[in-house]
Amino acid sequence: MTLTADQRPTLVAVLAVFLAQRFIPRGPRGELVSGTLLLTGVSPRPHATGEQYVTIAAVIDGPTVNEHAVYQRMAVDVDAWPMVGQLLSVVYSPNNPDNWKLAPPEAPEPPEPPAG
């Protein structure tokens, strides 16, 4: 198959869009709000070790939503497998709560210097 000169830019554009979707991180952008994710369903824990895929069903509660149902597949270490009823902190787009991700862990506070 040979491409004509006017078909080449179209092919390049299609490839660029496809590759951008693979390499640009997904998740909420712009303004984010914090909420809580209550796990209502979790796929069975595999017998394998290390990082494996888990499928979760959950509801998000936050300042702009109340029990908004979500569903997602994510990679999790088997030793930290989620459980039904578990509460997790999330951030999400106030315009589209389906666009969410787990909140980054909070850094521990530095220890106070010894009195002396």
Encode pLDDT of 51-74 as tens digits: 999 999 999 999 999 999 999 999
Cα 28 versus chain centre, distance:
9
The better pLDDT of the pair 105, 27 is held by 105
Cα separation values, 71 from 24, 36, 53, 99, 114, Å: 21, 14, 13, 11, 48
Specify whether the CB–CB gap between 60 and 39 falls below 8 A. Answer: no
Residue type, 16: A
User: 3-class DSSP state for residue 77?
Assistant: strand
**Contact assessment for residue 26 and residue 58, using Cβ atoms and an 8 Å cutoff:** no
The answer on pLDDT for 88 being more than 90 is yes
